[in-house]
Copies of this chain bind each other. A is one copy, B any other.
């Protein structure tokens, strides 16, 4: 991006490092590095230790695989939540997104990945056996599949469906359709077609 001769190697190294972060190009990386350069040293020490501590000390919940500071995460150990429903998601971010809606009161199971032959990730690389162990305890009566509709997501959902259909539980999938507030004319054809195919009884309070 700029001639190294004419600037600082230290700056260049910091820009290189910031540019490895997801979604950060070299221009944003430069902006961040120069921003930190102007901060008090204690602030940037705090910034550095925040993610070093996270990396060192964060655990995965032994039940649902969610990131947690404790052996069992807050959701799994919360007695007020509905322990008969498990929502299967691909990532930690999906859990946070669903929690953010403040409407779901069941538990989760975080695969932390998805079946992807291209990336060499097979079913055995995902905590699917852990999920079955949870079902074997007999308290669960519904598993919600909330994986993406990419090819990998569909493959994983189908694999899970085949594994789980032998259990005496409902297997459901989150609703797909035209997003609330979206115009039909700007909705992609697949979503629109599916939303008609999967139409539901009209509810006046919706």
Contact = CB atoms under 8 A, between A and B. Distances in A.
B21 A69 contact: no
Copies in the complex: 2
Given A16-B50, A30-B93, A34-B93, A7 B55 contact: no
Interface stretch (A39-47, A121-129, A158-166, A188-196): A39-47
A99 interface: yes
Interface in A64-87: 66-69, 73-75, 78
Contact of A11 (B9, B22, B54): B54
Interface in A142-187: none
A47 B10 contact: no
Contacts of A44: 51-52, 55
Given A7-B66, A7-B68, 19 more contacts: A1-B100, A2-B96, A3-B99, A3-B102, A5-B78, A7-B67, A7-B96, A8-B69, A13-B50, A13-B54, A14-B53, A16-B50, A17-B50, A17-B51, A34-B91, A36-B55, A37-B58, A44-B51, A48-B48
A36 B54 CA distance: 9
Contacts of A140: none
Interface of A: 1-3, 5-11, 13-14, 16-18, 20-24, 28, 30-37, 39, 41, 44-48, 50-58, 66-69, 73-75, 78, 91-93, 95-96, 99-100, 102
